[in-house]
């Protein structure tokens, strides 16, 4: 049997197929599921891939697995309801927006509704929490505010007020505390440290020795983690260096001074938007990419491969992040007092012409 659901990893496709079968009643409460070998044959997948899908169903409380007996549909699956999604300036957010779309898709597949809200930075945390509680949501996905003079205080206040209202809170993409501190809330994101390491390692493997990591002012904690990962890669390569520079990539004078001081042969931008602006500035200054300098970023936002040249980047697995976020939220709703978890997924290196 050939089974395809474009845009989702294979294990997520199997997960959704089985869950939909449970919802429709094709698999009755208490029914025994086919063996992993039988499911692997049915879906044209490997046994470990099937096992991963079954583990996700088990974490959601939809399936019970008994050693030696197999997997069974749970008789009392968790009731569905409504989840909130709170992100400031969602339409202008590089990666939170596509992840939010995937969260909504994963939620609908599980019978949940998602209500989206924004405008965090200019409103009282007490008002925000009261409004979400009045909407009757069971929990809120919260993408912490990036651009605010006291963002850590604001983000902490929002999360605390939501929690005090009895709402589960799961953070998206980044922690609400400043690096290297960690909050007491669940977080779903990519492994930013390893993403930084892998991107720097790729550039070092291309013969680059003088790397510069560029970020805009007021960068989030995820940038600190990416920077630390890049530093770890450079520390393992002889005669290589990495400098961290904070500035405006569209400022030609700043970029020119940076290149003159560092003699950089490669730039890692903190995200794709920064990389795109920097590429334009470099070309304006007469520095050809990648002939004179290589450049790479993070996220693989929708226009990354449309740049000239196309941008090498670390792709965020948005579909998998959406599924993981829903799993984390439902786990938090079932066990409100369990320790905070950090669910980190691996980003995928997409090599394009900007580092050729």
How confident is the model over 162-188, as pLDDT tens digits? 999 999 999 999 999 988 999 999 999
Look at the block and give the residue holding tokens 């920064």. 274
Q: What is the pLDDT of residue 63?
A: 84
How do residues 19-35 score in pLDDT, each as one tens digit? 888 777 788 777 889 99
> Which range is least confidently modeled, 9-18, 128-137, 253-262?
9-18
Does 335 or 43 have the greater pLDDT score? Answer: 43
Look at the block and give the residue holding tokens 């709703």. 333
Q: What is the pLDDT of residue 149?
A: 80
List, in order, residues 6 or more apart from 154 with CB less than 8 Å away: 120, 121, 125, 145, 148
Q: How far is CA 260 from the centre of its chain?
A: 35
Domain boundaries 192-316+350-355, CATH class: alpha beta
Q: What is the pLDDT of residue 2?
A: 44
How do residues 58-101 score in pLDDT, each as one tens digit? 877 778 877 777 888 875 545 678 999 998 766 555 678 889 99
Specify the length of the chain in residues. 356
**Model confidence, pTM:** 0.78
SS3 170: strand
Which part of the chain is CATH 3.40.50.2300? Answer: 82-190+318-345, 192-316+350-355
Fold exhibited by the domain 82-190+318-345: Rossmann fold (3.40.50)
Average pLDDT, the chain: 89
Mean pLDDT across the stretch 251-273? Answer: 97
Residue closest to 301 by CA, chosen among 143, 91, 9, 94: 94
The answer on pLDDT for 5 being more than 60 is no
Strongest mean pLDDT among 64-68, 93-97, 236-240, 299-303: 236-240
Task: Kindly indicate the confidence band of residue 317, based on its pLDDT and cuts at 50, 70 and 90.
Answer: very high
Give the separation between CA 323 and CA 326, rounded to whole angstroms.
5
Domain boundaries 10-73, CATH class: mainly alpha
Give the separation between CA 332 and CA 110, rounded to whole angstroms.
16
Q: What is the pLDDT of residue 77?
A: 46
Q: Give the angle subtended at the CA of 276 by the CAs of 273 and 277, to the nearest 5°.
A: 90
Percent of the chain with pLDDT over 90: 65
Which part of the chain is CATH 1.10.10.10? Answer: 10-73
74 neighbors 64 (Cβ within 8 angstroms)? yes
How do residues 111-145 score in pLDDT, each as one tens digit? 899 998 866 767 889 999 999 999 999 999 999 98
């Amino acid at each position: 049997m050939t089974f395809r659901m474009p845009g989702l990893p294979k294990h997520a496709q199997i997960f959704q197929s089985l869950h939909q079968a449970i919802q429709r009643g094709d698999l009755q409460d208490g029914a025994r599921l086919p063996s992993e070998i039988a499911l692997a044959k049915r879906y044209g997948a490997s046994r470990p891939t099937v096992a991963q899908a079954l583990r996700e169903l088990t974490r959601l409380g939809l399936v019970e697995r008994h050693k030696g007996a197999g997997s069974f549909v749970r008789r009392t699956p968790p009731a569905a309801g409504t989840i909130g999604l709170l992100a400031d300036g969602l339409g202008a957010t590089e990666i939170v927006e596509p992840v939010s779309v995937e969260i909504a898709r994963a939620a609908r597949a599980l019978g949940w509704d998602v209500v989206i809200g924004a405008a965090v930075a200019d409103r009282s945390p007490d008002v925000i929490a009261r409004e979400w509680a009045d909407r009757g949501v069971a929990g809120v996905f919260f993408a912490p505010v990036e651009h605010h003079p006291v963002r850590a205080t604001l983000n902490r206040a929002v999360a605390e007020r939501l929690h005090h209202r009895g709402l589960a809170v799961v953070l998206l993409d980044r922690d609400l505390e400043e690096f290297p501190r960690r909050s007491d809330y669940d977080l779903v994101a990519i492994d930013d440290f390893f993403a930084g390491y892998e991107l720097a390692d790729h550039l070092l493997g291309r013969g680059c020795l003088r790397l510069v990591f560029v970020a805009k002012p007021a960068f989030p904690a995820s940038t600190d983690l990416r920077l630390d990962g890049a530093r770890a890669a450079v520390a393992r390569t002889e005669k290589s260096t990495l400098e961290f520079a904070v500035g405006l990539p569209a400022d030609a004078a700043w970029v020119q001074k940076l290149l003159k001081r560092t003699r950089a042969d490669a730039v890692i931008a903190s995200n794709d938007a920064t990389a795109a602006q920097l590429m334009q500035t470099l070309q304006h200054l007469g520095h050809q990419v990648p002939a004179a300098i290589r450049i790479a970023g993070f996220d693989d936002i929708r226009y990354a491969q449309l740049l000239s040249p196309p941008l090498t980047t670390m792709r965020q697995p948005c579909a998998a992040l959406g599924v993981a976020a829903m799993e984390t939220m439902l786990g938090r709703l079932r066990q409100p007092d369990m320790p905070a978890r950090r669910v980190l997924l691996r980003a995928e290196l997409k090599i394009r012409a900007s580092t050729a």
